Amino acid sequence: MSIIDKVIAAVTPPESDEARAKARAEATAACEPGDWLSLVLDHHIELEDAVAAVEDATTADERTDAFKEFAVLLTGHAIAEEGVLYPGLSANSETGHADMGYTEQAMVKMQMAALEKLDPMSQEFEDKLEHVKGALMHHMYEEEGNWFLDLKKKATPEEQEMMTARYTEEFERYTGESMVEDDEDEELED
Ligand SMILES: [Fe+2]
């Protein structure tokens, strides 16, 4: 096990599934329709589904494709948080949480780069993926249960509006995914 694996293993979820569900319910209750927090929660759920698809894949090709999808979503989400929301934490007297966020995401990025080089059906890949998943789950729990709830309370309405616009812009710039189109589709379905 490398040093990074050990660090990640050390932060593998100490919290229970119940605690995670409670944090998500509280964060969901704090959302306003279409705001940055609701976008973050949507992406966290998509990330959970994406990592499950990597785990569930039964062939190398299927797993490689699922891993690519997971990696694009993870990187797009991380870029948007690192460019917009962690600076927002820091500007609202939460620099310690911002520092922790950057550090945890840097570790996950290194693990993702290492995963990319492994045989996707190997035990080593599956072990490392478990570490990434554990670190990701814990990181999302910290964001949902505490960091982002504080930011939601502390930021001014103008800051909230700016964060929603900039988070969207940064995420779409990387993923090429238009959330505007998704909203339009939903409106048509209503
Ligand atoms: Fe996040």
Q: Exposed e or buried b for every residue in 67-99, given b needs 16+ CB within 10 A?
A: beebbebbbbbbbbbbbbbbebbbebebeebbe
- Report the separation in Å between the CA atom of 31 and the middle of ligand 1, taken as the mean of its atom positions: 15
pLDDT tens, position by position, 10-42: 555 678 999 999 999 999 999 999 999 999 999
**Measuring CA to CA, which residue among 142, 137, 147 is closest to residue 48?**
137
Q: How far apart are CA 70 and CA 56, in angstroms?
A: 13
How confident is the model at residue 177, as a pLDDT?
74
The rounded average pLDDT for each run of 10 residues, N- to C-terminus, in the chain (190 residues) is: 56 80 94 95 96 97 96 95 93 88 91 95 95 92 92 93 96 81 52
Nearest to 66 by CA among 46, 83, 84, 86: 46
Query: What whole-number distance in Å separates Cα of residue 102 and Cα of residue 86?
Result: 8
For residue 187, the model assigns a pLDDT of 52
Ligand 1 centroid vs 42 CA: distance in angstroms? 10
40 alpha carbon – ligand 1 mean position (Å): 6
Distance 45 CA to ligand 1 centre (A): 10
* Residue 44 CA to ligand 1 centre (angstroms): 6
| CA 37 to centroid of ligand 1, rounded, Å | 10
Output the CA 32–ligand 1 centroid distance in Å: 17
Ligand 1: distance of its center to the CA of 139 in Å? 7
Tell how far the Cα of 96 is from the centroid of ligand 1, in angstroms: 16
Domains and CATH numbers, the chain: 33-185 (1.20.120.520)
Give me the pLDDT at residue 116, please.
95
- What is the pLDDT, as a whole number, of residue 5? 58
